[in-house]
Structures are given as C-alpha cells and as structure tokens.
Chains A and B, each alone.
Chain A
Amino acid sequence: MLLSLRGATVRFGGRAVLDAVDLEVAEHEIVCVLGPSGSGKSTLLRAVAGLQALDSGRVSLDGRDQAGVPAHQRGVGLMFQDHQLFPQRDVGGNVAFGLRMRGAPKRQQAERVQELLDLVGLPGAARRAVAELSGGEQQRVALARALAPSPRLLMLDEPLGQLDRSLRERLVVELKELFGRLGTTVLAVTHDQGEAFALADRVVVMRDGRIAQSGTPLQVWQRPADAFVARFLGFENVVEATVGAEAADTPWGKVPVPEGAPQGTRTLLVRPAGVRLVPAGTGLRCTVTARTFKGTHVAVHLQPEDAPRLEAACALRAAPEVGGEVGVEFDAAEIAVLD
C-alpha cells in the first residue's frame, strides 16, 4: 500500500476531529473522501501531509512510519482549497518552487515548468502574474505546482470548490483523464458528491471524524451504508421500516422490497424514481406541495396524510400542478434496504 492510516486520531480540545481512522490507498488509485464540513476530511489530509500531528495512531507511506518526519520531507503534494499561490512570484516561479527546494538545476526546472503548463492547458503562461489569473487558471497553476516535483501521493483539498458550476464539471473530467494518463495516486476531499463520483475510483464517506462507508461510486450510490450516507447523498425518502419477505411496513403503508433483502427493523431508502405517480384514488393519497425543475426531470414534493414527505422524480410533461391530489405507488427496483 502506498498510503496507510491505522487508528489515526486527532483531538482538538478533547473533541476527536479524526477518530481512529483506518484508510489505505493503493498506487495509481484515486480515492475521494466525501463528507459535510466539519467531518474531519481536511484534517485527514493535513495529518497525511505532516501539517497536523496525530494524537495517536500512525501514518505510513510506502510502508514507512511517518512519525517525526516533517512536512517538507514527506514527498507528498497538497493542493490547497484556495490554492495558496505565492503572490510575489509569477506563474513559473510558483510551479518551479518545489523543484527549487529539491535543488533541481535551472534548465531542468524551466523544462519541467513548460511541460506542466502545457499539461494543465496554460502554455506560455510562465511569466504571468498570479494576481491576474482567473479562478480556473489559478486552479490549474496550483495543480501544476503540486505535480511538478512528481509527488508519490497527490492530495487535493476541495480542488474545485470555488469555481462556478460549468467550469467545475468540465475540469473534473479533465482531471480524471490527466490523473489516469500520468498514473498519479490521488487522495482528494470534497463535500460535493458529484465531484467525488466523477473523479474517484473509490469513495470514502466521512461523518464526525469516522469513516461511514467506503466503496466504488456505484456501490455507494446504489447501497448507501446508512441513513446518514443516504441523506448526505441527497436522498429524502429515508424511513425506519419493518421489512418482511416481499414488502415492508412503512409510514407510507406497504412498500415492496427487492428479493433477498435483509429482514427485520431496517432503514429503507426509496429513490425518487421509485415513487410512481398514479391518478388520485389509487395508491397512497398525497398533496403536491412543490415542484422543482432539475433539468432532465422534475422533483415533485408530496405530502401524504399522517406520513413523512416524499420526493418523486417525474418526466417534465407529466408533472402535476402544485396543490393537486395524486396517488403514489412504489417500485421495488428503486428501493434499497440499508444497514
């Protein structure tokens, strides 16, 4: 394993910000740590980088314990959330910084700077001042700077956090391609699930300093480990239910479950696509409280009588009016039993 954390714990004033975290990252793997703010994901990166001392546990790189190895000798790269480019140096000076610290000869520095600026799509920008760069360009320079010394592990802290949405969606694809081509090992943290799913080979969801779930994007998306992960991924229809062989008892009535689902008192997730709207009078009776357009579909918010709200996904044309009455039926294929 390139990176391995064993029982890594960091406490701030008695509160465990990182709570006995075990994590492994293999070479060439792209791992995304996903979690709400305050879940300890930035602290995780800082602990690996050597910027934050552990209270207990260990961080190993290439099997070697990193205790007592200061940040500047760990040979890992870290791209900061707001880039932290050195304002008094130009783009080239920023990218060459790590090489200079390692005593690389001037010519080699210049070649590498050119190579990396080409790579991140900013050819010929070496003499430009950092202050005149746009947000997206700054992000590219920060990436080039972190990559220049060829770190064995590249860490990204909210790499696209401050960019606007369309740029973010384009850059995340570029990054994935680039890391694949270079074979870079990446540990990234983000609070944006879209970013994590697009970038990662493996997603690690964190909650209150602990790892709540780890798996491929598809695994995590299809079977969130628990109600917290499901809600964090944006699912609203999560309830306690008593699961039987073919159906579960829920506040919404009988809901069919997929074959082979675990039985007993469980958390049930109904994906919006699994909430089918039918004419009023059949199924569960609901009032439409709101509709929001999501581009490809409409999210319809429904209020049943004496039960938690439901979110349904439905085609643009078929969306009912706010205030209207509809019936609801459930589709077993879009239902997951958690825990």
Chain B
Amino acid sequence: MDLTRTEVAVGKRGAAARLGLIAVPVAFFAVFFAYPVAAIVARGLKADGAWHLGRIGEVLAQSDVRHVLWFTTWQALVSTALTLLIALPGAYVFARFDFRGKQVLRAVVTVPFVLPTVVVGTAFLALVGRGGLLDELWGVRLDTTVWAILLAHVFFNYAVVVRTVGGLWAQLDPRQEEAARMLGASPLRAWRQVTLPALAPAVAAAALMVFLFTFTSFGVVQILGGPTFSTLEVEIYRQTSEIFDLSTAAVLTLIQFVAVGAVLALHAWTVRRRETALRLVDAAGTARRPRGAGQWALLGGVLVTVVVLLLLPLAVLVQRSLDAPGFGYYRALTSDDGGVFLVPPIEAIGNSLSYAVAATAIAVVIGGLAAVALTRRDAGRFVRGFDALLMLPLGVSAVTVGFGFLIALDEPPLDLRSSWILVPLAQALVGVPFVVRTMLPVLRAVDVRLREAASVLGASPWRVWREVDLPMVRRALLIAAGFAFAVSLGEFGATVFIARPDSPTLPVAVARLLGRPGDLNYGQAMALSTILMVVCAVALLVLERLRTDRTGEF
C-alpha cells in the first residue's frame, strides 16, 4: 500500500512542476493577448452596457468593407499560388541537387523571410515604383497595379516554401522512388505515386502558411498599395488611426480573427499528418550533382529566379540609398531637420536595438518555458491546446496585437501606455511562436533514455536538465533568440500603433519618411531600410552558421 501511495505522490509532483512551468506563459498570454482581444470584442460589439451582435452585419453590409474583404482574400490566394509555382522548383533543386555554393544560396534565399515588411515594401518601391529602376529603364511602373504587392509577397514567402517543402523533400528516401521504378513505374509515375503523396502535407502546410502571411499582410500593402489596394489589416489601421472609428476597426479585427483561426486549425491538422506517416533519412545523402541538359536548365532557372526576384530589389534599394553624393542620405539621417520626428532619424537605430533586445529576452523566457512544458509527448489536452494557442499571435496579425494594446493597456491596473516596455511586450508576443517552434522539435528529439542514463548515474532531475537537455538545446536557444531578435527588429504592425512619436523604431521611421514628399525623405527612407536590411541579414547569416538541422518550419 505504501508503495502505491508514494508513486502517486511522485506523479503529482511531476504534474505540479509542469503546471508551474506553464503558468508563466499562460499568464503572459492571458494578460497581453487574451485580455486585449477581449477588449477589442467589447469595443466593437458593446455599447451602453449591452451587446450588439448586429454590428457585425452592419459593418459587413458596407460595400467598401466587402471590397476590402474580397481584395484581401483574392490577393492572398493569388500570392500563394504564385509563390508555390515559383518556389516549388526551388525546393526540388535544394532538396535533390548538389552544387557548389549551395550553402550560401540557401542562406541568401532565407534572408527575405526575416526582412522587415517595410524594407521589402521600400525595396520594391525602388524597383517598380515611381522613379524606380523599371520606370527609368522602360517607363514601366507597377506600384499602381496589384503586381507590386504580389511580387513582394512572393519575395517574402519564397523561403517558406523552399524550407518547409524542400526540407522534407531532402529527407525522403530516394530509394522509395527507385523501388517503385523497379516495380515498373515510369519516373513521372513513380514521383506521382510515391513522392507526391509524401510531400503533399508539407506543400499544404507551406501553402497555408503563405496564405496566412499574405492574408494578414500589412507593411507591404501599406507601402505598395497606395489608396487603391487595402487589406483587412491596412483597413483596421486606417479605421483606427485616420478615421478614428474604433468600433468598425474592432469588428474588422474579429472577422480577421475568425479567418486566421480557421487557417491555423487547418495548418495544425496538416502538420500533424506530416509528422506521423513518413520514414525519413539523413538529408545529406539524398542530393547529387545535376545530370543532363534538363536538370542543368532547371538549376539555371532557379538561380535566375533567385537573382531577379530576391537579389535585384535589395540591390536596387542599396543603390538608391547611395544616390546622393557623399552618402548624403545617410548623413541626413543624423540631423534633425525635416520635422518628421522630434529626434534625428538615426536615433531609431538605437531605439530599435534596445527594444529588440528586451523583446528577445522576454520571448526567450516565455517561449522557452512553454517549450519545456510542451516537450512531454504525453502532455494532456490542455497543454496541447496551449500549443495551438501559442501560434495565434503569429497569425492573428500584429495590428490586432497593437490595436489591442492600445485600447486595453491604457488604464489602471495596467496602464502601460507611457511605459517603454509596451513596445517590447508587443514584439515579444509576435516572437514567442518562433521560439517555441524552434525549441520544441529539438527538446522532443532528446532521447528519453539519455536522461535516464544520467539519472541512473546519480543526476537529480534538475541536474539531468542541466547536463543533458541544456547542452543539446543551447544551439536551438541561440537560434530562437536570433529569430525573436530579427522579428522584433522588423516588427511594424503592432509597433506603429504603440511606439511613441519621440522614440520611433526603424520600420516606423521608414514608413513615416516614405509618407512625406521630396527626394530627401525618399532617400533617407532607402538609407534607413538599407541599414535595417543589413542588421537583419547579418543576424540571419549568423543563425545559418549555428543551424545544423534544416527541418524546422522557419
């Protein structure tokens, strides 16, 4: 009898420890996500102490709102289709071909994904906008058409498809296809019957991710969309900061919330399917040198795509920033002249860096605790539900987070409006999902028996974590921190709501400069964007060196 009781006690102690671990992230999300979202709901649907669900119908009945909804959806669909079309050959090339400079190219391809939306918008403006490269050469301007937005979206999400699909593709055993060939299938048939079904869930997951990112696109559309094109996200911002119709903004946020929730649920489902059914091999052994004209042409095509689509806009951005003699635009950043800000624009660099450091620290602590608590595969339904919940801020859009902070955290007991911590908190909220997604697979991959081996050799549970888990996740922790850093650095949608006018971040400063007329402002925007791009690219390249497994989602 004694024995049974002791064991129950041990089990309870473990559960209590897990609950303790997860309590901090849960509290964080309750206060800084659930509470603001609830505030948005109340703001949108509650008036004079009563609920008015009819508001949803009223807002949806407005023709301009329906137009925004329609545009948001179809541009996301087209962007996703275009991205798949252009990036899938890239995924194949990275998975199956071995060629010189592959590592470098892989890093180059990933850079756009961590670039701030504002930088991407600016870069495409420099390429296809008024006075842009194409305008100068052939008089072609795309910034008045939807193409600028679509191309920028492809630029952004190319890496998502290459990483998720290519990562899996590289780990599929080529001998499976060979087995099908030996059983009489033609190469195409073998691919269709063996590889495609294995790949389909990854393609679906990547497509859903791209759809999500483009559906909630803010910075790119804000800069490239002009007055013509507006996504839900941009419309929410416009309603809040220009028209001051908070109630309509709240209803729009709710609509977006529901749409994003549905896409995320679908995504979680496809990811689960991807995890279960496949037998994977080491990616290092599946690639070989291209053979024959067709394969070399494919490789060449992918290289040209990367150069034209990914490198050219960034090159033009840098070139434009240097257009004034003697680094004129850069030097202009240091002087307080235009009256755009209360401080010289260059101070935005310091602001951005210190905000990003604080946000990274918060995201790593919160995300790290959540990942440790989620590590156990036998975690209960509550814990697994939390896993999905953690992804919400990623998709629920930065504007929702910023808007929520704005209306929820401005009165006691949580009056943070005037506190500098508000910006890092919002950025951390967006960064946590990246931390969890990076840490969780690594933590789950630690062999349970390795922990047991340490335990039998006399290590207490805390010692086991320090001696076995920590050395293995140290690298993942650094990568997670790097991602959180890059994300906070480029965060625009939430920050633009809550950053104080006298302490703008880099993306906010760029957007504000672009909103002003004149060559000097334009040039300064290009210069600031270039600085931001360099910082993010350096951060990413450092990460690439740290990264060993390439199976992660990001």
Contact = CB atoms under 8 A, between A and B. Distances in A.
Interface in A187-242: none
B287 interface: no
B518 interface: no
Contacts of A77: 456-457
Given A67-B3, A67-B6, A68-B10, A84 B450 contact: yes
Contact of A101 (B447, B463, B472): B463
Given A67-B2, A68-B10, A51 B450 contact: no
A223 B449 CA distance: 37
Interface residues of B, number: 25
A76 B2 CA distance: 23
A145 interface: yes
Contacts of A55: 4
Contacts of A146: 457
B453 A101 contact: no
A76 B456 CA distance: 7
Dominant secondary structure at the B interface = helix
Contact of B457 (A65, A68, A97): A97
B242 interface: no
B468 interface: yes
A74 B456 CA distance: 8
B455 interface: yes
Most buried by B among A50, A54, A86: A86
A72 B459 CA distance: 5
A58 B3 contact: yes
B471 A101 contact: no
Nearest to A71: B455
Contact of A51 (B4, B447, B452, B459): B452
A53 interface: yes
A72 B3 contact: no
A72 B460 contact: yes
A143 to B, nearest CB: 13
Contacts of B447: 84
B458 A56 contact: no
A102 B458 CA distance: 7
Interface string A36-53: 000000000000011101
B460 to A, nearest CB: 5
A101 B459 contact: yes
Given A67-B6, A84-B449, A101-B463, A49 B456 contact: yes
B204 interface: no
Interface in B1-34: 2-4, 6-7, 10
B10 A149 contact: no
B4 to A, nearest CB: 7
B284 to A, nearest CB: 14
Nearest to A59: B3
A117 interface: no
Contacts of B2: 67
Contacts of B450: 84, 86
Interface in A125-177: 145-146, 149
Contact of B449 (A58, A72, A80): A80
A86 B6 contact: no
A72 B458 contact: yes
Contacts of A84: 447, 449-450, 452-453
Contact of A145 (B3, B4, B457, B459): B457
Contacts of B458: 72-73, 75, 98, 101-102, 149
Interface in B450-486: 450, 452-461, 463-464, 467-468, 471-472
Nearest to A103: B458
A71 B456 CA distance: 5
Contacts of B4: 55-56
A82 B460 CA distance: 22
B454 A54 contact: no
B455 A51 contact: yes
B456 A68 contact: no
A300 interface: no
Contacts of A51: 452, 455-456
A149 B449 contact: no
A57 B3 CA distance: 8
Contacts of B10: 53, 68, 70
B462 to A, nearest CB: 10
A75 B10 CA distance: 19
Contacts of B461: 70, 72
A257 to B, nearest CB: 47
Contacts of A50: 455-456
A58 B450 CA distance: 26
A70 B461 CA distance: 10
Interface in B409-465: 447, 449-450, 452-461, 463-464
A76 B463 CA distance: 18
B232 to A, nearest CB: 47
Contacts of A68: 3, 6-7, 10
A88 interface: yes
Contact of B456 (A56, A67, A78, A82): A78
Contact of A98 (B449, B457, B471): B457
B457 A149 contact: yes
A97 B463 CA distance: 11
Contact of A72 (B7, B456, B471): B456
Nearest to A49: B456
A294 B4 CA distance: 51
Contacts of B7: 53-54, 67-68
A71 B468 contact: no
B454 A97 contact: yes
Contacts of B459: 72, 97, 101
A146 B452 CA distance: 13
B192 to A, nearest CB: 38
Given A72-B459, A78-B453, A98-B457, A88 B3 contact: no
Contacts of A73: 458
Contacts of A87: 472
Contacts of B449: 80, 82, 84
Contacts of A56: 3-4
Nearest to B471: A88
Q: Which 3 A-B pairs have the closest CB atoms?
A: A101-B458, A98-B457, A68-B6
Interface of A: 49-51, 53-58, 65, 67-68, 70-78, 80, 82, 84, 86-88, 97-98, 101-102, 145-146, 149
18 contacts: A50-B456, A56-B3, A65-B3, A67-B6, A67-B7, A70-B10, A70-B455, A70-B460, A72-B455, A72-B457, A72-B463, A73-B458, A77-B457, A84-B449, A97-B454, A97-B467, A149-B457, A149-B458
Given A55-B4, A56-B3, 11 more contacts: A53-B7, A53-B10, A58-B3, A72-B456, A77-B457, A78-B456, A86-B450, A87-B472, A97-B454, A101-B458, A102-B458
